[in-house]
């Protein structure tokens, strides 16, 4: 018995060393890509117990293969602004992993976009998509274009130029982009139009998040935010708790944030704060969603405009200050690394009970550790925000069948997908000896399906 235990300890140590070694190579081969390193580190740390039980993943070099995207393209996006001046942006598409289906994942238009951001997002997307249980591989793309302050004409010309190049690499059975930060149904519309013109055929399933009149799915707009709340509600239910009667803080005021607020309020929570990249609003009476929707979706104003209509509300400059607002449940729905260790500590000191990540990788590694150490219920992004891409896959299914489902049908499927993701993540955490740790559980559950498919398909 003693010898077996000793051997097991030695083996654990050598697996840890192996994982460490692969990670060091990732850092060396991808210098200055901090976000990519961070995403890889989190997954690798979770996988040690799986690798111990399944040496085939080591023998088949699955980790080494997973940290290398299948393909990444970077391209020039020239366009003419309203002054007649030529502008040039850089476009990307990472076709990360196609083991379980065509590449699938959004496009992000934001000045911060670079190879590191796109690779971290593609890496995360691969496991997230696997968790949904649907046949979709991982991809991501975007450009360092800033849609803020651009006219509709400028946005259209940019989207057309971007798609002129991207269209060479995508297709309904190859790679299916969608939206992300800075890309909503307007941008998807312009890109779909250009793709259709270039192809000379109507391939509805090439993009998701389309307008409802030409192949879009009901509930897609709401799906990421609603899905995050469904996931967190499931996690709370397990502890005999719920959104009902709780105070909630939701960062951001984009698509994910707005519909997370809507669903949380529908389940009986009081949402008291939200933000944009300039600052945050606090409304003790509960945020008025109709005002936020009008300000952000119709008028395209900054969130500070809210306080002129709601005199009890307070606007504060500096968006990270939102984490000083006391709450029971925090839903970071803005962007990567928006909660650092200091903000996490602040949330814990103020008594936060649960955190649900609606954005991609919104918590730094030490922030996640702080939540877990302090027994905060923690719903990691890959699992909690998978509802958006899950409904995208349902949009693809409707496009293939040439029909459209009702809002209730899609919403019902979304709820059951989120419940399944929760159960599978919880079960994997239990099976591998870290009950309740959904970070590890989600990473493992997402990984195993992709890794097994890769092995079955040979070294390609």
The residue sitting closest to ligand GLU, measured at its beta carbon, is 106
Minimum separation from the CB atom of position 435 to ligand GLU (A): 27
| Among 42, 180, 222, 262, interactor with ligand GLU by CB under 6 A | 180
CB atoms within 10 A of CB 386: 30
Alpha-carbon radius of gyration of the chain: 22
Strand ranges (DSSP E) for 61-155? 71-80, 86-97, 103-109, 137-143
Q: Which of 94, 104, 106 is nearest to 178 (CA)?
A: 106
In angstroms, the CA 274 to CA 229 distance is 15
**Angle made by CA atoms 15, 448, 8, in degrees to the nearest 5:** 30
Applying CB under 6 A, what is the total number of residues that bind ligand GLU?
10
Strand ranges (DSSP E) for 285-408? 314-317, 329-331, 354-356, 377-379
SS3 of residue 139 by DSSP: strand
Q: Are 113 and 142 in contact (CB under 8 A)?
A: yes
Minimum separation from the CB atom of position 55 to ligand GLU (A): 32
* Bridge partners of residue 270, in order along the sequence: 247
Which residues in 97-136 contact ligand GLU (CB under 6 A)? 104-106
Q: Are 226 and 219 in contact (CB under 8 A)?
A: yes
In angstroms, the CA 275 to CA 422 distance is 27
Which residues in 20-59 contact ligand GLU (CB under 6 A)? none
> Does position 147 bind ligand GLU by CB under 6 A?
no
In angstroms, the CA 424 to CA 234 distance is 12
Minimum separation from the CB atom of position 183 to ligand GLU (A): 8
Between 246 and 398, name the residue whose CB sits nearer to ligand GLU.
398
Strand duo 175-178 + 103-109: pairing? parallel
| Among 208, 246, 335, 399, interactor with ligand GLU by CB under 6 A | 208
Between 283 and 395, name the residue whose CB sits nearer to ligand GLU.
395
| Among 50, 389, 444, 448, interactor with ligand GLU by CB under 6 A | 389
SS3 of residue 94 by DSSP: strand
In angstroms, the CA 180 to CA 21 distance is 33
DSSP state of 236: H
Minimum separation from the CB atom of position 102 to ligand GLU (A): 11
Q: Are 192 and 120 in contact (CB under 8 A)?
A: no
Between 236 and 389, name the residue whose CB sits nearer to ligand GLU.
389
Q: How far is CA 355 from the centre of its chain?
A: 15
Minimum separation from the CB atom of position 388 to ligand GLU (A): 4
210 labelled catalytic? no
Minimum separation from the CB atom of position 130 to ligand GLU (A): 12
Encoding tokens for residue 456?
Answer: 């079955």
Minimum separation from the CB atom of position 123 to ligand GLU (A): 12
Between 105 and 254, name the residue whose CB sits nearer to ligand GLU.
105
| Among 392, 398, 437, 443, interactor with ligand GLU by CB under 6 A | 392
Annotated catalytic residue: which of 119, 128, 140, 296? 140
Which residues in 321-350 contact ligand GLU (CB under 6 A)? none
Between 335 and 392, name the residue whose CB sits nearer to ligand GLU.
392
Q: Are 268 and 242 in contact (CB under 8 A)?
A: yes
List contacts with ligand GLU (CB under 6 A).
104-106, 178, 180, 208, 360, 388-389, 392
Q: Which residues are catalytic?
A: 140
């Amino acid at each position: 018995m003693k010898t077996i235990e000793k051997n097991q300890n030695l083996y654990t140590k050598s697996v840890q060393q192996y994982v460490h070694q692969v990670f060091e190579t990732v850092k060396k081969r991808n210098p200055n890509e901090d976000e990519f390193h961070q995403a890889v580190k989190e997954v690798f740390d979770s996988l040690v117990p799986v690798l111990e039980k399944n040496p085939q993943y080591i023998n088949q070099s699955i980790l080494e293969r997973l940290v290398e995207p299948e393909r990444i393209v970077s391209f020039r996006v020239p366009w003419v602004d309203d002054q007649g001046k030529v502008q040039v942006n850089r476009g990307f598409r990472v076709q990360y992993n196609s083991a379980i289906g065509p590449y699938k994942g959004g496009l992000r238009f934001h000045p911060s976009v670079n190879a590191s951001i796109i690779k971290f997002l593609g890496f995360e997307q691969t496991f997230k998509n696997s968790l949904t249980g649907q046949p979709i591989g991982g991809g991501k793309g975007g450009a360092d274009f800033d849609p803020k302050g651009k006219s509709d004409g400028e946005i259209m010309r940019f989207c057309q130029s971007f798609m002129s190049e991207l269209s060479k690499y995508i297709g309904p059975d190859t790679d299916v982009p969608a939206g992300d930060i800075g890309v909503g149904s307007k941008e998807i519309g312009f890109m779909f139009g250009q793709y259709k013109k270039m192809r000379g055929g109507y391939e509805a399933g090439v993009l998701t998040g389309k307008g409802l009149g030409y192949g879009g799915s009901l509930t897609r707009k709401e799906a990421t935010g609603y899905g995050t709340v469904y996931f967190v509600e499931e996690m709370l239910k397990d502890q005999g708790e719920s959104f009902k009667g709780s105070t909630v803080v939701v960062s951001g005021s984009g698509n994910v944030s707005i519909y997370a607020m809507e669903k949380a309020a529908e389940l009986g929570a009081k949402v008291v704060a939200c933000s944009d990249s300039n600052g945050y609003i606090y409304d003790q009476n509960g945020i008025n969603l109709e005002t936020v929707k009008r300000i952000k979706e119709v008028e395209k104003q900054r969130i500070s405009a809210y306080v002129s209509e709601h005199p009890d509300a307070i606007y504060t400059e500096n968006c990270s200050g939102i984490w000083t607002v006391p709450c029971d449940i925090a839903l970071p729905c803005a962007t990567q690394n928006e909660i650092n260790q200091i903000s996490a500590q602040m949330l814990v000191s103020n008594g936060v009970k649960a955190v649900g990540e609606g954005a991609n990788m919104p918590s730094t590694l030490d922030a996640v550790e702080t939540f877990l150490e302090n027994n905060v219920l923690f719903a990691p992004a890959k699992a909690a925000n998978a509802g958006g891409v899950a409904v995208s896959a349902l949009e693809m299914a409707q496009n293939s069948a040439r029909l459209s489902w009702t809002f209730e049908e899609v919403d019902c499927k979304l709820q059951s997908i989120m419940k399944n993701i929760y159960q599978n993540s919880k079960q994997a955490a239990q099976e591998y000896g870290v009950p309740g740790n959904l970070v590890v559980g989600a990473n493992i559950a997402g990984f195993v399906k992709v890794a097994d498919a890769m092995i079955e398909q040979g070294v390609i």
